[in-house]
């Protein structure tokens, strides 16, 4: 009897354990593991993301810079895929079997039960053919998308490009983006991503067991409509933007032009550039790889990322600081004997200017005069307090936006460089340096570095007689004409308006009869300053800054042409063409006989300096069998041919900055 009761309890215990296991499994399937729920749901209700059209971007005149073109993605739910004719499927999409297997493996890895992208960006014609036979390929579907299209193929670095969201971007978005989504990677596309992308919608469709759609779930109550991205109105003028890119063809450098009265950037040229349409569509990856390998770095956004010594273009700023500190007067003179003694070494002026005042020193770009001014500023508190005087000088320079980010609405803006006193303390030990030690700063050389945007902003500041608006590239979002409050605020640089006139007089003289004379525009008073930025790695950089007209200025500009020599020879003529085109809408005949075509055709690309690893690779490449000598010869021949095609009278005679 006791044995019977013991067996009964054991059997009951086994049944209880089995029931608990089944209940636990049922709880896991229904609550914890969502695989079966997703599979069942996908058999009945499918959730389709409706991607909105990305916002278009227009120039300041309403001309379309970037718009959208329809394309389609092929999507797949791996668990719903059944046997079908894969040969015909691959033939239809233009892929091979290996490509098919690779795509399916990627989709399964993401999720066997969720929709993922199988093939991206197929053209409308291919979509139509595929859609007709969609029922033959269970588990596959189509998703409408849009691609960017650039009608003028210009302003690539300004616009930037979009690409597929990476894992890092997806993580930072807090789940907003999913694999296969597109997002702004660079330029304005990145800066204004949240405005341009719009708001995604959702459609919930019911499907029967034969994979046929049966309408919207709950009559569309849970559907949401996609909202298109907002339109951006840029500050760029595409006429001068395209002209600038032509003028900088086969050259390395930058053009930045600003409207002084607003801070709106009118021209934003980074050269070499590229066709933004290359980074759209199914060949995007191959094209991007080629551009990344380009030794002239077309993805490098030179207007805000490249650093150059400002050279003689810095001299007006030095004069303004000296005037504000009361250390010089416009009428003060300096006798230039061809050099300046900075301690026990000479700072050369390659021309004997004789007696010059402030305006004359700017017009003639007299190194000695500005070394004298700089020495007065740094010795104002005595030689033993050079650190304090230098720190005060640096603060005044920083107010102009030198050595500081200006806050332009584009990623990766550089600060430039205005060294601190501590920098020189480390270099020469504290108390071991004087104004003569850092005399090169007086003429925009030494450790001083600036971006082209900063150089243009200084000209806007001088044009405004003492203040600037933060430079920006977008002037309106949708119907809103004001973007950010900070772009409407005047940033004063601490120089009284009265001190600008003698400086501007000198800058006008630069163009009227000085180093920029060949770039004078008939009927337009342009005030400028040429510069030759020293380059330790090769030929000097040609630099020119200016604004025009003198009264009520409409444009401030900075042009840098790398490895091309003197500022008056290359940068000044290019700047003058941009200025006249913007102010008049055309380019007139010049007394100097220069014309744009010569500068457009001229090839000034610097020679590529090959690293030892590159030389070894080229030598080992038996397929190409091209020697370094033949490469150099081909480059030299192309340069000679370009020169022969151009009339020599179209080029200004070479003149140094102080001639």
pLDDT digits (tens, 9 = 90+) for 590-645: 988 999 999 999 999 988 766 666 555 555 554 454 454 554 555 445 544 443 34
Reduce the DSSP state of residue 492 to 3 states and report it: strand
The string of pLDDT tens digits covering residues 193-209 is 999 998 888 888 777 66
Specify the pLDDT at position 6: 67
Give residue 150's pLDDT band: very low, low, confident or very high (50, 70, 90): very high
Specify the pLDDT at position 647: 39
The string of pLDDT tens digits covering residues 552-597 is 999 999 999 999 888 899 999 999 999 999 999 999 999 889 999 9
Specify the pLDDT at position 43: 58
501 Cβ partners below 8 Å, 6+ apart? none
Q: CB–CB of 582/600 below 8 Å? A: no
Distance between CA atoms of 269 and 264, rounded to whole angstroms? 14
Maximum Cα–Cα distance across the chain: 132
Rg (CA), the chain: 33
Specify the pLDDT at position 539: 83
107 Cβ partners below 8 Å, 6+ apart? 76, 78, 116, 118
Which tops the pLDDT comparison, 411 or 631?
Answer: 411
Measured at the alpha carbon of residue 158, what is the angle toward residues 155 and 162, in degrees to the nearest 5? 100
Which tops the pLDDT comparison, 376 or 644?
Answer: 376
Residues 238-266: what's their mean pLDDT? Answer: 97
Residues 402-421: what's their mean pLDDT? Answer: 94
Specify the pLDDT at position 609: 67
Of 72, 184, 51, 185, residue with least CA distance to 124: 72
Reduce the DSSP state of residue 405 to 3 states and report it: coil
Reduce the DSSP state of residue 379 to 3 states and report it: coil
Give residue 449's pLDDT band: very low, low, confident or very high (50, 70, 90): very high
pTM: 0.83
Residue 28 is given by DSSP the state I
Which tops the pLDDT comparison, 108 or 13?
Answer: 108
Give residue 290's pLDDT band: very low, low, confident or very high (50, 70, 90): very high
Q: According to the per-residue pLDDT averaged within each range, which of 65-79, 152-166, 454-468, 478-492 is highest?
A: 454-468
Residues 97-126: what's their mean pLDDT? Answer: 88
Residue 272, preceding peptide bond in cis (omega within 30° of 0): yes
Q: Taking phi first (over 0 means left), then psi (-120 to 50 degrees means alpha), and beta for anything else, what does residue 408 get? A: beta
Specify the pLDDT at position 347: 86
Q: CB–CB of 299/292 below 8 Å? A: yes
Specify the pLDDT at position 625: 46
Sheet strand arrangement including 555-561? 264-271, 253-259, 555-561, 541-548, 527-533
The string of pLDDT tens digits covering residues 495-520 is 999 999 999 999 999 999 988 998 99
Specify the pLDDT at position 50: 82
Q: How many CB atoms lie within 10 A of CB 39?
A: 14
Residue 308 is given by DSSP the state B
Query: CATH: 3.90.1310.10, 3.20.20.70, 2.60.15.10, 3.40.50.2020. Which one for 47-234?
Result: 3.90.1310.10
Q: How many CB atoms lie within 10 A of CB 207?
A: 17
Tokens representing residue 246 in the block? 């032509």
The string of pLDDT tens digits covering residues 428-439 is 988 899 999 999
Specify the pLDDT at position 644: 37
Measured at the alpha carbon of residue 625, what is the angle toward residues 620 and 629, in degrees to the nearest 5? 95
238-297+307-650 classified as CATH 3.40.710.10: yes
Specify the pLDDT at position 35: 57
Mean pLDDT of the residues in the chain = 86
């Amino acid at each position: 009897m006791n044995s019977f009761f013991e067996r009964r309890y054991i059997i009951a215990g086994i049944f209880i354990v089995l029931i608990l296991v089944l209940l636990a499994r049922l709880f896991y399937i229904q609550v914890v593991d969502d695989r079966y729920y997703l599979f069942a749901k996908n058999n009945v209700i499918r959730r389709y993301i409706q991607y909105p059209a990305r916002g278009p971007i227009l120039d300041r005149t309403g001309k379309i810079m970037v718009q959208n073109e329809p394309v389609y993605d092929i999507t797949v739910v791996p668990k719903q895929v059944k046997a079908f004719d894969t040969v015909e499927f691959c033939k239809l999409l233009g892929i091979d079997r290996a490509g098919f297997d690779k795509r399916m493996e990627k989709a399964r890895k993401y999720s066997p039960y969720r929709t993922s992208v199988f093939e991206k960006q197929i053209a409308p014609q291919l979509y139509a053919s595929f859609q007709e036979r969609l029922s033959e390929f269970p588990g596959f579907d189509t998703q409408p998308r849009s691609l960017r299209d650039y009608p003028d193929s210009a302003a690539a670095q300004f616009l930037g490009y979009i690409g597929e969201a990476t894992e890092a971007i997806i993580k930072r978005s807090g789940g907003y983006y999913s694999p296969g989504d597109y997002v702004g990677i660079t330029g304005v596309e990145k800066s204004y991503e949240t405005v341009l992308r719009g708001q995604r919608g959702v459609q919930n469709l019911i499907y029967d067991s034969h994979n046929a759609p049966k309408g919207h779930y709950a009559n569309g109550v849970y559907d949401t409509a996609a909202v298109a991205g907002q339109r951006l109105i840029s500050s760029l003028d595409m006429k001068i933007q395209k002209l600038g890119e032509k003028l900088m063809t086969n050259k390395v450098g930058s053009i930045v032009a600003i409207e002084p009265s607003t801070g709106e950037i009118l021209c934003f040229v980074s050269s070499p550039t590229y066709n933004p349409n290359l980074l759209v569509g199914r060949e995007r990856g191959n094209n991007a790889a080629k551009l990344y390998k380009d030794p002239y770095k077309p993805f490098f956004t030179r207007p805000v990322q490249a650093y150059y010594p400002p050279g003689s273009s810095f001299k007006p700023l030095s004069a303004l600081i000296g005037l504000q500190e009361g250390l010089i007067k416009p009428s003060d003179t300096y006798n230039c004997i061809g050099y300046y003694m900075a301690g026990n070494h000479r700072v050369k002026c390659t021309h004997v200017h004789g007696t010059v005042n402030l305006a004359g020193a700017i017009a003639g770009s007299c190194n000695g005069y500005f070394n004298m001014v700089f020495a007065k500023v740094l010795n104002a508190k005595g030689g033993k307090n050079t650190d304090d005087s230098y720190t005060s000088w640096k603060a005044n320079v920083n107010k102009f936006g030198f050595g500081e980010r200006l806050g332009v609405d584009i990623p990766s803006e550089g600060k430039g460089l205005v060294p601190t006193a501590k920098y020189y303390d480390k270099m020469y030990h504290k108390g071991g340096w004087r104004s003569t030690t850092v005399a090169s700063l007086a003429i925009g050389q030494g450790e001083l570095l600036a971006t082209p945007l900063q150089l243009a902003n200084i000209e806007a500041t001088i044009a405004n007689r003492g203040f600037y608006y933060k430079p920006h590239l977008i002037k309106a979002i949708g119907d809103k004409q004001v973007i950010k409050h900070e772009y409407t605020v005047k940033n004063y640089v601490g120089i009284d308006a009265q001190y600008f006139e003698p400086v501007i007089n000198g800058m006008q003289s630069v163009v009227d009869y000085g180093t920029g004379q060949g770039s004078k525009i008939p009927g337009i008073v342009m005030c400028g300053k040429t510069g030759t930025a020293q380059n330790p790695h090769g030929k000097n950089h040609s630099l020119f800054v200016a604004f025009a007209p003198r009264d009520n200025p409409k444009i401030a500009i900075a042009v840098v042409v790398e490895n091309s020599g003197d500022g008056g020879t290359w940068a000044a003529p290019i700047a003058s063409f941009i200025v006249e085109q913007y102010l008049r809408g055309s380019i007139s005949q010049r007394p100097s006989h220069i014309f744009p075509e010569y500068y457009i055709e001229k090839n000034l690309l610097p020679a590529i300096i090959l690293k030892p690893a590159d030389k070894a690779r080229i030598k080992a490449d038996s397929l190409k069998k091209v020697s370094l000598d033949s490469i150099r010869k081909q480059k030299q021949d192309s340069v000679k041919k370009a020169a022969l095609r151009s009339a020599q009278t179209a080029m200004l005679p070479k003149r140094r900055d102080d001639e």
